[in-house]
Amino acid sequence: MAIHFERERAHMVEYHLMARGIRDPRVVQAFREVPRELFVPEDCQAYAYADSALPIGEGQTISQPYIVALTVVSLEVQSDDRVLDVGTGSGYAAAILSRLARQVISLERICPLAERARLNLERLHCSNVQIICSDATRGWPLLAPYGAISVAASSPQIPPPLMDELEVGGRLVIPIDSGGQQTLTCVTRLGQTNYQQKMLVQVQFVPLIADN
């Protein structure tokens, strides 16, 4: 039976995002436009618009749509922002961010995933996204500072390079792991050494791994 992806996508936006408080018009429109089915394996496409994480290979997952949306809304991305996306995965979040920001720098430590994400984004003509295979815990200082930083892997603490690369007034969203319990946390940089944290929701992400 044929899957009507556009209808499924509209249903996801209405019932999994807007009904749960995701109302920013720019964010909602981005989720209406980006086809999530392109970012999951073919054998998972029937579940592309379920509000759940799905496997994408290499022991990694694509995050559930609501958590991606909550992250993006919390970042308050502006049209002239340069955004750092830590943990590219298959590229879905980068595709969403590309519709909101001036430029997206997306880091993925697993090079085969980075290459797949690059191809996915090329298919959608996301010309303002740069995919880099790199140790994401170090950030990408060459193009810092960033107006927003999204981290799609859990860590017991925020890697210092990411804190340093966030511009004053910018926001960083990361799952903080405290003894096995993960909390999606939004950090706002108020000054050179002054940061404010806000806990958002309990989550479950793969761990953020540094290359030795």
61-119 pLDDT tens trace: 999 999 999 999 999 999 999 999 999 999 999 999 999 999 999 999 999 999 999 99
Output the pLDDT for position 36.
98
- State residue 151 phi and psi, 5-degree precision: -120, 120
Output the pLDDT for position 1.
45
Within 8 A by CB and 6+ apart from 130, the residues are: 103, 104, 105, 106
Predicted TM-score (pTM) of this structure: 0.95
Output the pLDDT for position 211.
76
- Going by the DSSP 8-state scheme, the letter that residue 141 receives in this structure is G
Report the alpha-carbon distance of residue 15 to residue 27 in Å, rounded: 15
* The amino acid at 13: V
pLDDT tens digits for 161-172? 999 999 999 999
Find out whether 36 and 48 touch, Cβ atoms under 8 Å: yes
Domain ranges of the chain: 5-202
- Going by the DSSP 8-state scheme, the letter that residue 89 receives in this structure is T
Report the alpha-carbon distance of residue 163 to residue 114 in Å, rounded: 23
Active site residues: 63
Task: Give CATH for domain 5-202.
Answer: 3.40.50.150
pLDDT tens digits for 105-159? 999 999 999 999 999 999 999 999 999 999 999 999 999 999 999 999 999 999 9
Q: C-alpha distances in angstroms, 159 versus 18, 68, 167, 176, 177?
A: 32, 20, 15, 11, 13
- State residue 11 phi and psi, 5-degree precision: -65, -45
Q: Which two tokens stand for residue 36?
A: 């999530």
Report the alpha-carbon distance of residue 28 to residue 163 in Å, rounded: 28
Within 8 A by CB and 6+ apart from 92, the residues are: 34, 36, 39, 62, 63, 68
| Direct distance between the N- and C-terminal alpha carbons of the chain, in angstroms, rounded to an integer | 48
